[in-house]
Amino acid sequence: MITASQVKELRERTGAGMMDCKKALGETDGDLDAAVDLLRKKGAASAEKKAGRIAAEGVVELAINPKASRGVILEVNCETDFVAKDESFQQFARDLADAVMEHDPADVDALNRVMLSSGQAVEAARQALIAKIGENIAVRRFEVVTGEAGQVAGYLHGSRIGVLICGTGSGDLGRDIAMHVAATRPVCISEADMPGDVLAREREIYSAQAAESGKSAEIVEKMVEGRVKKFLKENTLLGQPFVKDPDTSVGELLSKQGASISAMLRFEVGEGLEKRTDDFVAEVMAQAKAG
């Protein structure tokens, strides 16, 4: 006979649902280890089935070492905002950021093979979490910045937007700049860093707009150059008005404090990913009919 204490222990070891645990213990004649293996196999199969489902919600997580000389920014995705708020999902993201900090994997594939402090590989932990939560979960991306001691700072806006910056300066300046980046979404740090294709596209658009004015070629050229300068000011970190003091640009603020920014990373959950467009009512009705 399967006891409640056996079910409880299996749930604690696997995170699986109560009925799944009871069924697994029944199929393995109460053998706890065999039940764990059975649930893991079922969890892997479940994860495989869910792998094609869109995961565009999730969290961004940061990790900065005690010397503030190295920082990690990471995005983990799930299917719904509800799961993004789940503590076990958020803990998984924190564990991954710590794993990147400790093991320095080259990419997501390498991270999936890293062993967590729990003794599980990242990929096994991901599949176990899918089995527990019931949604597709994807480790999407991470990046690392390094500098001298005290040069790395970060800011998390809730769990959806994260920023890491590296630069010289002191006090709260680094966090303030990271907060500014979270709010204003600059394309790059300086005008010299602006990608050529981005600038060419903007120039083409402005040229087409100015040409419709019917003005001379010389005036049109001046109009285009003026709009390009405005675009560069609005979309580069150094050119933007500082959010805490709009009368001062970030470049001027840094200059006054003898500081500079050498690296900037900004992640926002789901940017560039296809969003779910499921009709929830239709989905429930379809399940009801199938049942």
DSSP for 117-143, written as a single string: TTS-BHHHHHHHHHHHH-S--EEEEEE
Query: Helix, strand, coil proportions of the chain in percent (round to 5)?
Result: 50, 20, 30
- What is residue 14's predicted lDDT score, i.e. its pLDDT? 63
- What is residue 289's predicted lDDT score, i.e. its pLDDT? 55
- What is residue 291's predicted lDDT score, i.e. its pLDDT? 47
22 Rama sector, left if φ>0, alpha if ψ -120 to 50, beta otherwise:
alpha
- What is residue 216's predicted lDDT score, i.e. its pLDDT? 80
The residues pairing with 157 across neighbouring beta strands, listed in sequence order, are 161
- Three-class SS of 21-41: HHHHHHHCCCCHHHHHHHHHH
Grouping H, G, I as helix, E, B as strand and the rest as coil, residue 10 is helix
Other C-beta atoms lying within 10 Å of the C-beta of residue 281: 8
pLDDT in tens, 26-64: 999 888 888 877 876 665 444 444 445 556 799 999 999
Quote the tokens at residue 48: 């495989």
pTM of structure: 0.74
Ranges of residues in the chain whose predicted pLDDT is under 70: 12-17, 40-55, 170-171, 274-291
Domains and CATH numbers, the chain: 4-50 (1.10.8.10), 57-146 (3.30.479.20)
- What is residue 44's predicted lDDT score, i.e. its pLDDT? 42
Quote the tokens at residue 61: 């997580």
Asked whether the beta carbons of 145 and 70 are under 8 A apart, the reply is yes
Task: Give the contacts of 288 (CB within 8 A, at least 6 positions apart).
Answer: none
The residues pairing with 92 across neighbouring beta strands, listed in sequence order, are none
